[in-house]
A and B are shown apart, each in its own frame.
Chain A
Amino acid sequence: MLEGKFESASLMKRLVEAIKDSVKLCNFNCSQTKGITLQAIDDSRVLLISLKLDPGCFEGFRCDKNLVLGLDLESLSKVLKQGNNEDYLTLIAEDAPDNLLVVFEDPKKDRISEFSLKLMDIDSDVLSIEDMDHDCSITLPSSDFAKVARDMRTLSESLQILVTKDSVKFMASGPIGTGSVIIKAHTDLKDGKESIKIDLNKSVNVTFGAKYLNDIVKASTLAETVTIKLTNKIPALFEFKLQGGYLRYYLAPKFDE
């Protein structure tokens, strides 16, 4: 039996909103030691999502037997919208489940809502992704990155990112003209989360599909900062750290033909 209780429904609500436009059907893998993990690839096979929710992400977590919960994220999103952000959220499944039970409890305990969501058998490709060294790592406020990705998409379908020793340059060029945004490394002593950190082994020049970057920045509601790891001609890693877990996106770059 699985029973995972979140202190507030808002984490799960924001997670599903962050990924449901990229992938529709996902297997949620549940285990006592690892908590809930998920790996899913978008239909175009350009963007991969990897989620880890350690047991520590939950107020209470119990999983007697390893389970795979095949879920339609559109449906899960509909159910999650029934609960308030501040509600306790508990996910419950039997050992060989056909359904996932989603329970919201008002913190004042005067209202309990229960939904049963049908599970599906989902045949999905799983890719092996090993930790690797990247040419550079950038950590910046996730809202700053979201603004650049959204603004620059209005100019072009592609966003070029150039990283040098102490600056990151975003460039877009399209039918109406060109644009660039340069951000420089700095340390904000008052609020560390506002700092911009650039670690560079080698300068990087990569281009990504603006559509995918716009999907990725939907996760900026989950973490105040995002870490971007880039290497020339290799998929980039965008990581949003969660309390006791992470949401990572791996995005394949574009190349010049």
Chain B
Amino acid sequence: KNTQFNLMDFYELI
């Protein structure tokens, strides 16, 4: 099953 990554897992909040 494919699950969707979240961009917050990669990038930091400024």
Contact = CB atoms under 8 A, between A and B. Distances in A.
Nearest to A39: B14
Given A207-B2, A257-B1, A257-B2, A252 B13 contact: no
Nearest to A207: B2
A158 interface: yes
A11 B2 CA distance: 36
Interface in A116-165: 125-129, 158
A252 B7 contact: yes
Given A125-B13, A127-B13, A48 B2 contact: no
The range of chain B's interface size is 10 to 19
B2 A252 contact: no
Nearest 6 A-B pairs (CB), nearest first?
A252-B5, A127-B11, A254-B2, A126-B14, A257-B3, A45-B6
A102 B4 CA distance: 39
Contact of B11 (A46, A129, A158, A256): A129
A82 B5 CA distance: 39
Contacts of B5: 46, 235, 252-255
Contact of B7 (A48, A209, A255): A48
A238 interface: no
Interface residue SS majority, chain A:
strand
Contacts of A46: 4-7
The range of chain A's interface size is 20 to 34
Contacts of B7: 41, 45-48, 127, 235, 250, 252
Which residue of A41, A127, A128 has the most chain B CB atoms within 10 A of its CB atom?
A127
Interface of A: 41, 44-48, 125-129, 158, 207, 209, 234-235, 250, 252-257
A197 B2 CA distance: 29
Contact of A127 (B1, B3, B12): B12
15 contacts: A45-B6, A45-B8, A46-B7, A47-B7, A125-B13, A127-B11, A128-B11, A235-B5, A252-B5, A252-B6, A252-B10, A253-B5, A254-B3, A254-B4, A254-B5
B13 A126 contact: yes
Contacts of B2: 158, 207, 254-257
A128 B14 contact: yes
A46 B3 CA distance: 11
Nearest to A42: B7
B11 to A, nearest CB: 4
Contacts of A235: 5, 7, 10-11
